[in-house]
Amino acid sequence: MENIFTNLKLSFSRGSILAKLIYINVGVFILIRLWDLFLLLFNITGFSLFDYVNMPSSPGMLLHRPWTIITYMFTHADFLHILFNMLWLYWFGRIFLQFFHPRQLGGIYVLGGIAGGLLFMLAYNVLPYFSSMSAGSSLMGASASVMAVVFAVSFYRKDYYIALLFLGRIKLIYLALGVFVFDLLAITSDGNPGGHIAHIGGALLGIWFASQISRGRDMTTAMNRAIDAFVNMWKRKPPRMRVTHKRRETRYEYNARRNTANAEIDVILDKLKRSGYAGLSSEEKRKLFDASKR
């Protein structure tokens, strides 16, 4: 078991940013599932982790749990939810990395999630249609972040083709626009309006990133600095090296130290003559041994 965790730790530390994002999502999913299983086995209610990691639609509740605007993008409701999100992240993350730096992938993932979360909250608190849902609604999942990645590379390379089963080769931007239209039309037609709104927020952030990067501006720079600062907070800092200066002995101090040491050895030798080697203490034997090497 220890080897398994060691191998996972090494794989995480050596993996790309894409692999790290997938590892984090899967790890959080497993931890929450195990916690829910524990609660279920002991019939404990009212302590679901989802209440503390999902992003609430209420601005007041968000002020009490500000971290949820980040944590929600790493939580998933069930196996199929995380499976499809991670497949999309893997496929389009690899395409993204063909044109951009790995750090930009991490930055766009977080920024896309934040954009999706903010649009979700804005819609639920401004549009009258959602007024009856806003009180107890929350957001979870990496979909907004994934949409940001998809739309960033789609609008940066509008001529990029992908091969799809049954459809053959099509431009990636056509797939992205099709997903955008679907999310727009599905806002009021199924049981996940908040998720579709978050997708649109992530998509708009991805389009903005592509337009800015074409002008030579990288909007992920500030976010990556913030991520670096957060990560460095949890890293162990090496202890500071203490440099001390030892003063050299004077001749008088040297002679005094030698005379004291010689006197101690003389006492030990006298005791050795009287009671033999077995009668010496371990400390006296050590001093006698050290003296024999000088």
Secondary structure of 210-237 as H, E, C letters: HHHHHCCCCCCHHHHHHHHHHHHHCCCC
Query: Cα–Cα–Cα angle for 45, 51, 53, nearest 5°?
Result: 135
CA distances from 89 to 53, 108, 142, 251 (A): 21, 12, 9, 74
CA distances from 76 to 40, 189, 245, 258 (A): 18, 22, 58, 74
Return the higher-pLDDT residue of 288 and 246.
288
- According to the model, what pLDDT value does residue 5 have? 67
pLDDT per residue as tens digits for the range 145-188? 999 999 999 999 999 999 888 778 999 999 999 999 999 999 98
- According to the model, what pLDDT value does residue 2 have? 61
User: How far apart, in whole angstroms, are the C-alpha atoms of residue 210 and residue 154?
Assistant: 8
**Mean pLDDT score across all residues of the chain:** 87
Q: Read off the amino acid at residue 28.
A: V
pLDDT per residue as tens digits for the range 38-71? 998 988 887 888 989 999 999 999 999 999 999 9
- According to the model, what pLDDT value does residue 133 have? 83
CA distances from 26 to 67, 84, 133 (A): 19, 12, 29
Residues 6+ positions from 159 with CB-CB distance below 8 Å: 171
- For 2-233, CATH number? 1.20.1540.10
Residue 258 has pLDDT above 90, yes or no: no
Rounded to an integer, the average pLDDT of 121-140 is 90
φ and ψ at residue 139, rounded to 5 degrees: -125, 140
pTM, rounded to two decimals: 0.77
Locate the domains of the chain by residue range.
2-233, 262-293
- According to the model, what pLDDT value does residue 191 have? 82
| pLDDT confidence tier of residue 282, bands split at 50, 70 and 90 | confident
Which spans in the chain are helix H?
Answer: 2-14, 17-41, 50-53, 59-64, 68-71, 79-96, 102-126, 143-156, 172-186, 193-214, 221-233, 251-275, 282-293
pLDDT per residue as tens digits for the range 228-246? 888 888 776 665 656 655 6
Beta strands 168-171 and 161-164 are antiparallel
